[in-house]
Structure 1
Amino acid sequence: MDALIMLRDYQGWKKEDDAQMREWMTAYLGWLQSSKLAKRESEAKNNHGSWYAAQVAGIAWYLDKKDVVSAMAALQRTKLNHQIQDDGAQQEELSRPRSFHYSYFNLQAITNMAILADKVWPSDIILITISCIFLPHISVLGVIIFKSVGYR
């Protein structure tokens, strides 16, 4: 999505190109919100669910659908307590053969979602994610995410 936003300033990217891309992304977003397969991914408790929320939120941000970004941030927030244990472990990811990769991959999705949520309502999820580094006493969940980053 970042590349598409950057293309808007490129002289070779015409308004028609942008209009067609927005039309395609609108259709894709509709599919992500209505298809059985996508709905199943949205309910996943592992990184699939996190990446679903981040992907939908990214497309929604590009299409200026802030209500959808907010809904995806809320969806991700409902997953966090299950995804990240008090000690930072991510049980859904640790049960997989490449557990370190999937744990990191899930944190990447959560962080991307936090950044997108911050664009809609500053200092909400991003504070949860970032506060653990500077002010860990602000958010228990922030500490949990921080622990997950350092989990061994």
Structure 2
Amino acid sequence: MSVVDKTKSALSGDKHDYYSMGPYWWPDPSKPNGEPYIRRDGVVNPERNGEGFDADRLSRLSDNVSNLALAHFYTGDLRYAQKAAQLIRVWFLDADTKMNPNLSYAQAIPGVTAGRAEGIIDGHRFIPVIESIGLLAPSAVLSQTEMRDLERWFGDLALWMATSPTGQEERAKSNNHGIFYDLLIAQFSLFARQPQIATQVISSFPETRMSRQFSADGSLPEELTRTRSWHYSHWTLGAIGKLAGLGECVGLDLWRTNLPDGRGLARSLSFMTKYVARENTWTFPETAFQPGGNLNSAREIAMETFWIAGWGFSDRSYSALGSFYSSQVTGSDVKFWLSSFQSNAQ
């Protein structure tokens, strides 16, 4: 499984460049070839997940490596770890198949742009891979040289994020994209043994994000304008929780950091808590709550948010809310992964 397997190429012509399409962009039926594509917010074009692009391939890599690493962790069977290491080598290390450490051509829009700053968020699928590498480390299935090369790869990706015009544009976003930028560059930098970058990002979060993106009532106003406002509110809070977890690695407590007026993660979680088991009172746009909507997905994202909050705040009331949603979620890998750790945490 490799970026070179896709049937299309990015504008660069280099199959080693990651290439994806914006999820909510569709052919314009009024144009002979459908281009330029037009936006339908919240409605995913299945073309994005086809063999021509890398998004689905990266998603499968992330899931497979995570599942294999967890299987090894719980069973001790070295075969799982060896297979995970093989997948990692193909995607990140082998000269013939590895991905170039940039996201310049992520979330392209046919007829509009060859790649967008918003595409950096595709990199969130690397987070489970990094966590899995940590689980695999004691097995020594990746050599010390390979570990150093992986650290260098993610360090190069973080450097590209910090210095490229694409990365700088994404950092300036005032919605979930800006917050995910912070999470990703902090995660990649920590893995690359550059904790000073994560420290800078996390310590500045109150000024750069809370003061600009958190409302007085705890809501995230940019997310409430979306057609999937419930999803994006929870997804963004989950990202902040993960960033707060990284803060613990550098001695910073983002969990309990508040602005002078009280805005902070706890208040934003309280805003969402009001709607637990009362989704019918959610007055903002959300396709999941419409007839035929994907309620399972909406409940899954809430489950993850509250379980993360429960761990971070050591607060069983948040954990209980996560378990409430877990009881309603079916067919979820996220539920499987998190529930095992949740059981150990209680």
TM bin, normalised by shorter chain, reads 0.7 to 0.9
Q: Tell whether 2:207 aligns with 1:85.
A: no
Partner of 1:110 in structure 2? 240
Asked whether the equivalents of residues 94 and 103 of structure 1 are also in contact (C-alpha less than 8 Å), the reply is yes
Asked whether the equivalents of residues 90 and 148 of structure 1 are also in contact (C-alpha less than 8 Å), the reply is no
Asked whether the equivalents of residues 83 and 91 of structure 1 are also in contact (C-alpha less than 8 Å), the reply is yes
Instruction: Report the CA distance between 1:144 and its aligned residue.
Output: 2.3
Q: 1:70 aligns with which of 165, 185, 199?
A: 199
Partner of 1:7 in structure 2? 136
Instruction: Report the CA distance between 1:13 and its aligned residue.
Output: 1.4
Residue identity over aligned pairs, in percent, reads 22
Alignment of 1:114-129 (within 5 A): 114-122=244-252, 124-128=253-257
Asked whether the equivalents of residues 118 and 126 of structure 1 are also in contact (C-alpha less than 8 Å), the reply is no
Larger radius of gyration: 2
Partner of 2:230 in structure 1? 100
CA distance in 2, matches of 1:148, 1:3: 32
Instruction: Report the CA distance between 1:110 and its aligned residue.
Output: 0.9
Deviations along 1:39-97, whole A, 9 cap, x unmatched?
11111111100000000111111122221111111342221132221212211001111
Instruction: Report the CA distance between 1:12 and its aligned residue.
Output: 1.6
Amino acid at match of 1:149: M
Root-mean-square deviation over aligned CA pairs: 2.1
Alignment of 1:42-81 (within 5 A): 42-78=171-207, 79-81=209-211
Runs of 4+ in 1 over 4 A off after TM superposition: none
Instruction: Report the CA distance between 1:150 and its aligned residue.
Output: 2.2
Gaps of 5+ in 1: 130-138
Amino acid at match of 1:65: Q
CA distance in 1, matches of 2:171, 2:213: 14
CA distance in 2, matches of 1:28, 1:104: 27
Aligned residues: 143
**Paired residue secondary structure (2:138):** coil
Larger RCO (alpha carbons 8 Å, 6+ apart): 1
CA distance in 2, matches of 1:63, 1:140: 34
Partner of 2:272 in structure 1? 149
Which structure dedicates a bigger proportion of its chain to helix?
1
Alignment of 1:3-42 (within 5 A): 3-42=132-171
Give TM-score scaled by structure 2 length: 0.39
CA distance in 2, matches of 1:57, 1:115: 11
**Paired residue secondary structure (1:8):** helix
Asked whether the equivalents of residues 223 and 229 of structure 2 are also in contact (C-alpha less than 8 Å), the reply is yes
Asked whether the equivalents of residues 214 and 221 of structure 2 are also in contact (C-alpha less than 8 Å), the reply is yes
